[in-house]
Amino acid sequence: MKQGLGWLSCALLIAAVIAGWMPAQARQDQVPATAELMQVLEGTGASGLEGQARLRVSLGKVKSPEEWQRQAETWASRLGISQPDAAIEKSSSLLSYRVKTSRGGVQIHYGVTGVSNNGWYDPYLVIQLIGSPQSLRDVDNLREKFAKVLEEAGWNPQFSTCVRGIYNDKMSVDRQTERILSIFRIFHAKELERMQDETVVSISGYSQLWEGFIPLRGGRMNLQAATHRSSGHGTFITIGTPIITAEY
C-alpha cells in the first residue's frame, strides 16, 4: 500500500524513531484493541482486513556496532523470537537488525535500529505484529506478552494499532473524504489536519474516547485514517491510533 502520500507515513515513522517524540501517554492500556478498529472498518464495507499492533522502546545508548548487535540478539532471545535468518545491515550512520517469523496466525517483524549519535549509537527496538480478523486475539496477547517482558526489565514501550482493508470500487477524493469522516463520527473525533492529492486522502484527529495521544501542532492527536485509490485494485483504507504506523 505504499502509494501516493505513503511518504507522509514514512516521514512520521522516521520522526518517531529518531526524535522519539511519541510520549508516554500512548500506553498499552490506553490503546484501543485492534478488534475495535477492525469492527468499525468492517462495518464500512471494507474487505481483506488486516490488523497490526506495534510496540517500540528506546534501549538507551551503546558504544559500538558489536554491542548493538549483542543487544539485538539478546532481546530477541529474551522475547522468545527465533533468529536463524536475521538480516543485518551496517553503515557509518545506521545499523539495522531485522527478523521475520510467525507464531500461529501472527506474523512477527522484530527489529533493532542503531542510530549514530556523537560517537555512540541509540538503539530502538520495534516489534510489529500482523494478523487477520481470526488471529486478532493472538495479536493482542503477543503484544501484552512482549510488553510485560520489556516493562519488567525497566523499559517503557510505546504502542500503536492500525487496521487495513480495501473497497472494491475506485472512490473519488470526495468519496474517500466522506468515508474517513464517517469513521471519525463513529469515534466522535475532531479533525485536526488533512492532506490529499488526486488519489489519496489522509486525515488526523482527536477522540475523547481514548486517553492516549501524541502532540500535533500544539494539540492532541490519537486517530489517523488514510485512503488511496489504486489504479487496479479499488480503494485501500488504513486506520491507526494514535498514528498510522504502516505505509499507505
Please report the domains of the chain, with CATH numbers, ordered by start residue: 6-241 (3.30.2030.10)
Mutual angle of helices 34-43 and 136-152, in 10-degree steps:
150
Distance CA 109, CA 95 (A): 16
Per-residue pLDDT of the chain (248 residues; tens, 9 = 90+): 444 444 344 334 434 433 344 444 444 444 556 888 999 999 999 999 999 999 999 999 999 999 999 999 999 999 999 888 899 999 989 999 999 999 989 999 999 999 999 999 999 999 999 999 999 989 989 999 999 999 999 999 999 999 999 999 999 999 999 999 999 999 999 999 999 999 999 999 999 988 888 998 888 999 999 999 998 889 999 999 999 987 77
Instruction: Please give the single-letter amino acid code of residue 40.
Output: V
For 47, residues 6+ apart whose C-beta sits below 8 A from its C-beta are 165, 166, 167, 168
Instruction: Please give the single-letter amino acid code of residue 6.
Output: G
